[in-house]
């Protein structure tokens, strides 16, 4: 309820010449404009005092800019409301609207505080290095938990804003207290959201995936680019994006190439002929890998892993610092080994062998024939073939 008040003399003077609603609109709008002007001037002064060298502090100011502006405008309108020549019902309606805005402001401030706390925490870690396992671990935890926290705060804020209105308050209380069909319908409708929300918390704690992990999902190879409260974005090697529900990574199997560390062992398979000198190919592999900047100096090996009736299979192994390097190293090994075999051992390619039996008696009879007889014999063979 709005208390009785006596407006300033200039408000009464203006009310004698203009409608009350117009004077009230001018008063409230003027208070909001003055608040905006004061906020803009104050923020400019703060930015100049801080300086451009403090990048993180400047980013913090940018984050709180909208919330502080909204809070200042809300406070100015609330202070100017008693001076406006409004009726009791109109003033009460505006006061309720201000109360709802105040609740939304608290939720906005809470979400901004969560974002600032997350940014302040992850700024200690650098993800642009080769060994970034610890950085990706903390970055994933902060991002997922921040999304979950923001979702919870947003739901509570909206519920509190609706409960601040008397007409909606009774409906909300009865809806929350009811355990009938309405509660069942709401529970079923919210089940996917709650499932993904709980899955997000589990992923943040157990971390089967992290930001930047190299994974194979649905037979697609890529990197974890984004983890939200409901879905995960996988950046595929050809720059496509695979969007997967976050619960997928708790319910279905997938490959994580960087689960424990970023180092990987790449595999190259080659089918060659039985006459190929494996030792020479192994030496060529060692030379190729040692001259490559992609090799991390840990693993290089070649073995015969399979044999068929036509060829043998060579498996070349080499390690690299991360998934991108191991992919490029595998391609380089494959290309250079093929070039080596083509140059040094061109007969090393798989062959299809055939055995032809010689009919000695028939060949001797054919050799005893003259040229004309051989020609006639050949023509007769063509006619019989037709």
DSSP-derived secondary structure letter, 17:
T
pTM score > 0.75 for this model?
no
pLDDT of 12? 54
Tens-digit pLDDT profile for residues 119-150: 778 777 776 666 666 777 777 778 878 887 88
pLDDT of 319? 92
Asked if the model's pLDDT at residue 283 lies above 80, the reply is yes
Mean pLDDT over all residues of the chain? 77
pLDDT of 1? 39
Tens-digit pLDDT profile for residues 7-37: 555 555 455 555 666 767 777 888 888 888 9
Out of 76-90, 213-227, 292-306, which region has the weakest mean confidence (pLDDT)? 76-90
Residue 336 binned pLDDT confidence (cut-offs 50, 70, 90): very high
pLDDT of 16? 53
- Mean pLDDT, range 213-217, rounded to an integer: 90
Q: Which residues contact 153 (CB under 8 A, 6 or more apart)?
A: 107, 110, 111, 114
Residue 3 binned pLDDT confidence (cut-offs 50, 70, 90): very low
Task: Please return the burial class of 323, using the count of CB atoms within 10 Å of its CB with bins 0-12, 13-18 and 19+.
Answer: buried
Pair 26, 86: CB distance under 8 Å:
no
What span, in angstroms and rounded, lies between the C-alpha atoms of 274 and 276?
A: 6
Secondary structure, 3-state, 162-217: HHCCHHHHHHHHHHHHCCCHHHHHHHHHHHHHHHHHHHHHHHHHHCCCCCCCEEEE
Out of 191-205, 275-289, 339-353, 371-385, which region has the weakest mean confidence (pLDDT)? 371-385
Tens-digit pLDDT profile for residues 224-234: 988 887 889 99
- Among the listed residues 360, 188, 199, 345, the one whose alpha carbon sits nearest the alpha carbon of residue 272: 345
Element (H, E) at 128: none
Pair 305, 271: CB distance under 8 Å:
no
- Mean pLDDT, range 176-205, rounded to an integer: 59
What span, in angstroms and rounded, lies between the C-alpha atoms of 156 and 172?
A: 12
Output 260 or 295, whichever has higher pLDDT.
295
- The per-residue b/e assignment along 286-312, b for 16 or more CB within 10 angstroms, e otherwise, is eebbeebebbbeeebebeeeeeeeebb
Residue that the structure tokens 């970023």 belong to: 262
Q: CATH second-level architecture of 264-348?
A: 2-Layer Sandwich (3.30)
The Cβ of residue 177 has, within 10 Å, a number of other Cβ atoms equal to: 8
What span, in angstroms and rounded, lies between the C-alpha atoms of 205 and 208?
A: 9
- Among the listed residues 229, 218, 216, 217, the one whose alpha carbon sits nearest the alpha carbon of residue 153: 229
Residue 293 binned pLDDT confidence (cut-offs 50, 70, 90): very high
Out of 249-253, 296-300, 370-374, which region has the weakest mean confidence (pLDDT)? 370-374
- Mean pLDDT, range 248-269, rounded to an integer: 86
User: CATH 3.30.70.100 spans which residues of the chain?
Assistant: 264-348
What span, in angstroms and rounded, lies between the C-alpha atoms of 301 and 279?
A: 11
pLDDT of 192? 64
Out of 39-43, 151-155, 266-270, 289-293, which region has the weakest mean confidence (pLDDT)? 151-155
């Amino acid at each position: 309820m709005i208390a009785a008040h006596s407006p300033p003399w200039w408000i009464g003077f203006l009310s004698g010449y203009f409608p009350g609603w117009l004077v009230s609109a001018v008063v409230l709008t003027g208070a909001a404009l003055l608040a905006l002007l004061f906020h803009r001037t104050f923020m400019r002064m703060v930015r100049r005092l801080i300086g451009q060298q403090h990048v993180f502090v400047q980013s913090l100011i940018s984050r709180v800019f909208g919330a502080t502006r909204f809070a200042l405008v809300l406070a100015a309108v609330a202070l100017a409301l008693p001076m406006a020549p409004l009726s009791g019902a109109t003033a009460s309606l505006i006061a309720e609207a201000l109360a709802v805005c105040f609740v939304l402001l608290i939720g906005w401030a809470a979400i901004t505080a969560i974002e600032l706390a997350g940014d302040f925490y992850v700024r200690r870690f650098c993800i642009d290095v080769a060994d970034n396992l610890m950085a990706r671990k903390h970055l994933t935890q902060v991002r997922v938990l921040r999304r979950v926290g923001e979702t919870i705060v947003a739901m509570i804020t909206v519920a509190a804003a609706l409960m601040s209105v008397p007409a909606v308050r009774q409906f909300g209380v009865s809806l929350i207290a009811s355990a009938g069909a309405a509660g069942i319908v709401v529970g079923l409708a919210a089940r996917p959201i709650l499932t993904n929300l709980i899955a997000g918390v589990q992923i943040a704690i157990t971390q089967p995936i992290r930001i930047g992990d190299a994974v194979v999902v649905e037979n697609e190879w890529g990197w974890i680019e984004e983890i939200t409260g409901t879905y995960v974005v996988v950046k595929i090697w050809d720059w496509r994006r695979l969007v997967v529900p976050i619960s997928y990574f708790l319910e279905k199997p997938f490959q994580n190439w960087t689960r424990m560390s970023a180092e990987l062992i790449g595999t190259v398979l080659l089918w060659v002929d039985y006459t190929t000198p494996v030792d020479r190919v192994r030496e060529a592999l060692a030379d190729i890998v040692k001259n490559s900047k992609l090799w991390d100096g840990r693993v290089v090996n070649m073995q015969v892993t399979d044999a068929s009736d036509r060829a043998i299979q060579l498996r070349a192994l080499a390690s690299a610092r991360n998934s991108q390097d191991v992919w490029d190293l595998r391609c380089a090994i494959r290309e250079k080994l093929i070039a080596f075999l083509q140059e040094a051992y061109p007969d090393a390619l798989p062959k299809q062998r055939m055995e032809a039996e010689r009919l000695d008696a028939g060949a001797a009879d054919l050799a005893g024939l003259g040229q004309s007889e051989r020609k006639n014999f050949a023509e007769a063979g063509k006619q019989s073939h037709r």
